[in-house]
Amino acid sequence: MAETIIGIDVGFGFTKATDGKDFLVFKSVYGEAVDLQYKEDLLSSPKNDEHLQIEINDTSYFVGELAERQSSSRSFTLDQNQFVSSSSKILVLAALSKLLHEPEQSIRLVVGLPIGHYRQYKEDLGKMLKGTHTFSAIDAQEKQTDFKVTVTDVRVLPQPIGTVMDRLLGTQGVPKSQRFATDKIGIIDVGFRTTDYTISDKGRYSERGSLTTRNGISKAFSKIGNKLKEACNIDIEIYRLFEAVDTGSIKIRGKAYDLKPITEKSFKQLATAIAADANTVWADDWDIDAIMITGGGGAVLAPYIESQLEGVVIPIKQDLDYRLHNVRGYYKFGLYTWRKKED
Ligand SMILES: Nc1ncnc2c1ncn2[C@@H]1O[C@H](COP(=O)(O)OP(=O)(O)OP(=O)(O)O)[C@@H](O)[C@H]1O
Ligand SMILES: [Mg+2]
């Protein structure tokens, strides 16, 4: 039987993963597990999928929302300077604990690295993930499942290239679009903390034309957060603003605040900076055929960025949460790389 292929995209904001069928998204946050206090869901049955807890080498971690809500000791977000560290491993194993159906199995992994880390950490990340990992998953009822997962192969991609692979390859990992194999495509990946720029030239990644900036969506969100703090003196986690910004208002202590004017203003400012960087970094690449805007931040900023870009923009398919295009591309790239030889 062909080995299971899993794609995982560990971002500064969210960890995204897929086995080709299911998608998983959780915040890239983890913390020490604590004893949960007695709680009872009065209106619905307890939802197990919100409980993400794993134990590695006798240390128990809460991951994602659960860490944010319950870990009283420090919870860590990914450190930009230590991307390839135990934290990415914890997030990867947490994702596996949810996606794998067999506790003991061999898998192949495709993962991404931010552009700025790619060349330096590609090998290290591959080495860290390859081999056998033993860990346990603990569910909301404290039931423990022991995993022994052997990663036989790892491929590491520059993160935004996932979106190109997603368009280039069909669901079976076979190239379907000639265009992406012949054209020169610029990709702008707007994430939570960073924006990555890169070029896929005839399906190849080139370091030239690549750049990482700190212009992630969190920059606009912190402006919106500051404005709210001025208005009602409450610190709002920037993670929590997505929904409020999406609907255009937020209720704080029963009072609704209109977020539209400040959102419009901060998104425009951020989009202008993002587009200006694209025009600068690709100034010599006048032969770019088209540009794609991806990443969760791309979903909200694309209309603002597009009008300021020098070039033609290929709209992203609306069939999937923008945050997931890279990881779906990783999975397809895995199929392309490994399935061909076996079939
Ligand atoms: N359904 C959603 N829920 C929450 N955020 C969303 C959603 N859809 C889009 N977003 C936006 O996606 C952003 C995160 O995007 P993404 O997951 O691509 O970032 P990341 O890859 O974790 O960050 P980075 O690229 O900086 O490492 C959020 O800041 C938010 O603005
Ligand atoms: Mg990202």
| Averaged pLDDT in 10-residue chunks for the chain of 343 residues | 90 94 93 70 59 93 85 61 77 96 96 90 94 95 95 97 93 85 93 95 89 95 93 84 90 92 96 97 94 94 92 84 96 92 52
Structural domain includes residue 324:
no
Question: Is there an atom of ligand 1 within 6 Å of 193 CB?
Answer: yes
Question: Is there an atom of ligand 1 within 6 Å of 239 CB?
Answer: no
Closest ligand 1 atom, residue 14 Cα: 22
CA of 2 to the centre of ligand 1 (A): 32
At residue 83, the pLDDT reads 62
Give the number of whichever ligand sits closest to the CA of residue 263.
Answer: 1
Structural domain includes residue 40:
no
**Same domain (yes/no): 126, 191:** no
Residue 221 sits in which domain range? 179-317
Closest ligand 1 atom, residue 9 Cα: 21
**Same domain (yes/no): 126, 214:** no
Residues paired with residue 4 on neighbouring β-strands, in sequence order: 107
Instruction: Please tell me the residue having the least CA distance from ligand 1 atom 2.
Output: 242
- In CATH, what number is assigned to the domain containing residue 200? 3.30.420.40
Q: Which phi and psi angles does 33 have, rounded to 5°?
A: -75, 145
Question: Is there an atom of ligand 1 within 6 Å of 300 CB?
Answer: yes
At residue 42, the pLDDT reads 60
At residue 143, the pLDDT reads 92
Q: Domain ends where: 110, 127, 158? A: 158
Structural domain includes residue 74:
yes
**Same domain (yes/no): 25, 154:** yes
**Same domain (yes/no): 125, 199:** no
Structural domain includes residue 171:
no
Structural domain includes residue 101:
yes
Question: Is there an atom of ligand 1 within 6 Å of 112 CB?
Answer: no
pTM for this one?
0.92
Structural domain count of the chain? 2
CA of 340 to the centre of ligand 2 (A): 28
**Same domain (yes/no): 253, 206:** yes
Structural domain includes residue 17:
yes
Question: Is there an atom of ligand 1 within 6 Å of 323 CB?
Answer: yes
**Same domain (yes/no): 154, 273:** no
Question: Is there an atom of ligand 1 within 6 Å of 298 CB?
Answer: no
Question: Is there an atom of ligand 1 within 6 Å of 157 CB?
Answer: no
Structural domain includes residue 195:
yes
**Same domain (yes/no): 206, 87:** no
Question: Is there an atom of ligand 1 within 6 Å of 219 CB?
Answer: no
Instruction: Please tell me the residue having the least CA distance from ligand 1 atom 15.
Output: 296
Question: Can you say whether residue 173 is alpha, beta or left, with left for phi > 0 and alpha for psi between -120 and 50 degrees?
Answer: left
At residue 56, the pLDDT reads 95
What CA–CA distances, in Å, run from 38 to 62, 67, 68, 293?
17, 17, 18, 45
**Same domain (yes/no): 127, 184:** no
CA of 328 to the centre of ligand 2 (A): 13
Q: Domain ends where: 158, 192, 224? A: 158
Closest ligand 1 atom, residue 326 Cα: 18
**Same domain (yes/no): 59, 134:** yes
Scanning the structure block, which residue is given the tokens 């012949």?
Answer: 182
Tokens, residue 302: 């694309």
**Same domain (yes/no): 237, 151:** no
**Same domain (yes/no): 154, 196:** no
Structural domain includes residue 174:
no
**Same domain (yes/no): 135, 269:** no
